[in-house]
């Protein structure tokens, strides 16, 4: 599975967000994967399309696709130098596929700010500096190794050394590498280093209930994100935690009262999903309507492999109906009648929302 690490200074609302995310997951009907470690939660991806499909197919159960969130607490200034178990936290971040960086954008005298004052730009800088310094260390070590290997005319080592030398000054200024503008080939060359500041990153601006508009703190976060090409998701984690605790019916009522169509958490989850370049296809049978996660660009056999490796090996054809067609034609039979049902081969690139039935040999 794919996972997203939640980072940020202490007391900015990380645990509140994490708890809301995981609590929201537990009450999903027929949810089969509930193993939740203390700091790791498996969260269903909310997808209204799946409910639409279920209305048509009327399956016994609905199984959403999921993403993992990991609460990585304890990142403080000096972490890259080992302050406050810093290295351990940095190692945890290295294992994640994407980063959700929570930034405090709310005033509350009862909640102590570790740096003494609410200042989103400075807070972001503290975290990004630690991540960049951790990358600096990684790059310096790799440079020593590759410099040795490059003497032996090793082509890969020479290429690696060139890229590392190019990015070193940027990291020396403690700037995140995502703002460097590396070319695709260069990114590939250094991929195995799992550099932290190259991970897809979103800023979660934790605002007050009334802080979604005309909020200078939020503007600061947005400006920084824009300069790096990162995404911002404004959310009120405290409110989300309250919403997550409600029963289904109460929840709907509460959301209506607040003028919200859905919990704001859904935006965080979806942003994480798209940050990772993921998309969804569906299988829709009478037993279950199920969503499956694939990377954008995955072929039909690769997508079949998500269900079972045998499906990929023995792939013959995919029976495909686009989501919109499936809904407009009220199901597979209707789609067939309307000429919207397709047989696709092994080179077919699966599209977001495709409803698929795989044919395979065992």
Q: Is 10 in the site for ligand GDP (CB under 6 A)?
A: yes
Q: Is 268 in the site for ligand GDP (CB under 6 A)?
A: no
Q: Which is nearer to ligand GDP, 2 or 106 (CB)?
A: 106
Residue list 292-331, contact with ligand GDP (CB under 6 A): none
For the CB of residue 72, give the shortest distance to ligand GDP in the complex, in Å: 10
For the CB of residue 123, give the shortest distance to ligand GDP in the complex, in Å: 11
**Is residue 346 a contact partner of residue 299, using CB atoms and an 8 Å limit?**
yes
For the CB of residue 348, give the shortest distance to ligand GDP in the complex, in Å: 44
Gyration radius (Cα) of the chain, Å = 23
For the CB of residue 220, give the shortest distance to ligand GDP in the complex, in Å: 16
Q: Is 238 in the site for ligand GDP (CB under 6 A)?
A: yes
Q: Which is nearer to ligand GDP, 108 or 310 (CB)?
A: 108
Q: Is 236 in the site for ligand GDP (CB under 6 A)?
A: yes
Q: Is 69 in the site for ligand GDP (CB under 6 A)?
A: no
Among 206, 215, 220, 303, binds ligand GDP (CB under 6 A): 206
For the CB of residue 210, give the shortest distance to ligand GDP in the complex, in Å: 11
- Residue that the structure tokens 């996972």 belong to: 3
Q: Which is nearer to ligand GDP, 214 or 361 (CB)?
A: 214
Alpha-carbon span 242 to 123, nearest angstrom: 26
Q: Is 16 in the site for ligand GDP (CB under 6 A)?
A: yes
Q: Which is nearer to ligand GDP, 11 or 266 (CB)?
A: 11
Question: Rounded to the nearest 5 degrees, what angle is found at the Cα of 32, between the Cα atoms of 204 and 16?
Answer: 25
Among 14, 101, 161, 170, binds ligand GDP (CB under 6 A): 14
- Residue that the structure tokens 């609410």 belong to: 118
Annotated binding-site ranges for ATP = 11-16
Q: Which is nearer to ligand GDP, 104 or 175 (CB)?
A: 104
Q: Count residues contacting ligand GDP (CB under 6 A)? A: 17
Among 3, 237, 293, 299, binds ligand GDP (CB under 6 A): 237
For the CB of residue 6, give the shortest distance to ligand GDP in the complex, in Å: 8
Q: Is the dihedral of CA 229, 235, 237, 238 positive or negative?
A: positive
Among 125, 154, 208, 219, binds ligand GDP (CB under 6 A): 208
x/- letters, 81..120, toward ligand GDP (CB under 6 A): -------------------------x-x--x---------
Q: Is 215 in the site for ligand GDP (CB under 6 A)?
A: no
Among 11, 87, 194, 266, binds ligand GDP (CB under 6 A): 11
Closest CA to 39 of 82, 76, 69: 69
Question: Which residues contact ligand GDP (rule: CB under 6 A)?
Answer: 8, 10-16, 73, 106, 108, 111, 206, 208, 236-238
């Amino acid at each position: 599975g794919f996972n997203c690490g939640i980072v940020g200074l202490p007391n900015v609302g990380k645990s509140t967000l994490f708890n809301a995310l995981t609590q929201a997951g537990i009450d999903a009907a027929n949810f089969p994967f509930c193993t939740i470690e203390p700091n790791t939660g498996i969260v269903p991806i909310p997808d209204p399309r799946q409910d639409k499909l279920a209305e048509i197919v009327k399956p016994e159960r609905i199984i959403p696709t999921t993403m993992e969130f990991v609460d990585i607490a304890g990142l403080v200034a000096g972490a890259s130098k080992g302050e406050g178990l810093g290295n351990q936290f940095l190692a945890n971040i290295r294992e994640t596929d994407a980063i959700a960086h929570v930034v405090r954008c709310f005033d509350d005298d009862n909640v102590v700010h570790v740096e003494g004052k609410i200042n989103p730009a400075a807070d972001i800088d503290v975290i990004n500096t630690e991540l960049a310094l951790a990358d600096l260390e990684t790059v310096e070590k790799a440079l020593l190794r590759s410099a040795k290997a490059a003497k032996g005319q090793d082509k890969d080592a020479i290429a690696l050394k060139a890229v590392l030398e190019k990015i070193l000054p940027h990291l020396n200024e403690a700037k995140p590498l995502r703002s460097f503008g590396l070319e695709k080939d260069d990114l590939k060359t250094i991929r195995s280093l799992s550099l932290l500041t190259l991970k897809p990153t979103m800023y979660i601006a934790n605002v007050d209930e009334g802080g979604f508009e005309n909020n200078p703190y939020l503007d600061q976060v947005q400006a920084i994100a824009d300069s790096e090409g990162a995404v911002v998701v404004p959310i009120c984690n405290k409110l989300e935690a309250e919403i997550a605790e409600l029963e289904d019916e109460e929840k709907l009522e509460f959301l209506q009262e607040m003028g919200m169509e859905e919990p704001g958490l859904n935006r965080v989850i979806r942003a994480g999903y798209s940050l990772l370049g993921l998309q969804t296809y569906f299988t829709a049978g009478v037993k279950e309507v199920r969503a499956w996660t694939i990377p954008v660009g995955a072929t039909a056999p690769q997508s079949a492999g998500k269900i079972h490796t045998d499906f990929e090996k023995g792939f013959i054809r995919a029976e495909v109906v686009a989501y919109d067609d499936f809904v407009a034609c009220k199901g597979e039979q209707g789609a067939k009648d309307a000429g919207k049902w397709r047989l696709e081969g092994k080179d077919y690139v699966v599209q977001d929302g495709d409803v698929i039935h795989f044919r395979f040999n065992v």
